[in-house]
Amino acid sequence: MQTLDETDLRILRAMQRDGGMTVAQIAEAAGISQSPCSRRIIQMQSKGIIASRHVKLDRRLLGFNAVIDARVKLKMHDRKALEDFKREVRAIPEIQSAVLLLGEFDFHLRLVVRDIDHYQELLQDRLVSLPGVQELQSHVILEVVKNTTALPI
């Protein structure tokens, strides 16, 4: 773990609240002047603490009205089977996240689609033919109660 002081943490908290803030706005929120704030941000970027900044889009305003969680069980678990599956998953833009699990299923996928018809098409055309898929269970998300990437710093 990197050693951060309270000023660094105030900067990071401000950036997590709104990744689009200017350095001047971050500095004001952190209670320091702009130049040292900028230096600290650059330093944390060079250390990899700040990995990137993102814009969060409203999926519904862009026509993606359904979120699907899918759990996948693979037939084989050797290195090649896992790498083949991961490579194909990365190529499907509707899959927003894919995580490798320990337990009954091997992967958890989070997908965003226009509607259920879009998901059915994606399921039939791409998901069931992913390399090594033995079983796939899907769940429609009715409401996202909390969705954050913010760390509790």
The phi, psi pair for 101, rounded to 5°, reads -115, 160
**Where does the pLDDT of residue 150 fall: very low under 50, low under 70, confident under 90, or very high at 90 and above?**
confident
Q: pLDDT > 90: what percent of the chain?
A: 88
Q: Give the CATH number of domain 6-46.
A: 1.10.10.10
Element (H, E) at 29: helix 23-30
Please state the domain extents for the chain.
6-46, 60-141
60-141 classified as CATH 3.50.50.60: no
Q: How far apart are CA 58 and CA 66, in angstroms?
A: 12
Q: Are 144 and 69 in contact (CB under 8 A)?
A: no
Number of other CB atoms surrounding residue 68 within 10 Å: 21
Cα–Cα distances (Å) from 107 to 36, 50, 56, 72, in that order, read 43, 27, 24, 5
Q: Is the pLDDT of residue 1 over 70?
A: no
pLDDT of residue 63: 97
Q: Per residue in 86-138, pLDDT tens?
A: 999 999 999 999 999 999 999 999 999 999 999 999 999 999 999 999 999 99
